Amino acid sequence: MCGYRVPHLSARFKGPAPRCHRLATYLAVVLACGFVFTGCATYTQDLERARRHYQALEFPQALGVLRALGEDFDGLSPSERVQYTYLRGMTDFRLSETVPQTGTLRSGLRSCARDWLDECLALEKRGDGKLTVDQSSRARIALAQLIDVDAKPRACVPATVQSR
């Protein structure tokens, strides 16, 4: 192993660690940093991918990406959390408009849309991030249309996500 001698086994060991050990330590630190930065970029990329699906009116695909990303909600930055909750709420809302008027699927989607949009506006009010004027207006209009939802409030938003 690069000629390294363990200090307690060799009385002749004096001086710094061999160059190969310093190099190995350096590489380990660089790789660890790379994994950290790659992980953050992945969350951002996933959020952007969900946004692209939403804008292309591919709501089931957007919801799939958002559900997977939601498992790592704590890894999102505060501004990304606001965007995530907005996209999640609006995706549920838009999906609810594509299913039959009656049934549990529609009411479940509408309930979740209300919860996520409520959470979004609460996070924004707290100062965690900002919505565009257009996004804020859409969220408020959608919430007004969801006033008739009779399900228990905040049932769709996990306790680890809730801001209140």
The Cα 98–Cα 92 span in angstroms is 10
User: pTM of the entire structure?
Assistant: 0.72
153 and 133 Cβ atoms separated by less than 8 Å: no
Q: 110-158 pLDDT, tens per residue?
A: 999 999 999 999 999 998 889 999 999 999 999 999 988 776 676 788 7
Q: 59-114 pLDDT, tens per residue?
A: 999 999 999 999 888 889 999 999 999 999 999 999 999 998 888 888 889 999 99
Structure tokens at 54: 């939403």
pLDDT attached to residue 35: 45
Per-residue DSSP letters for 26-44? HHHHHHHHHHHHHHHHHHH
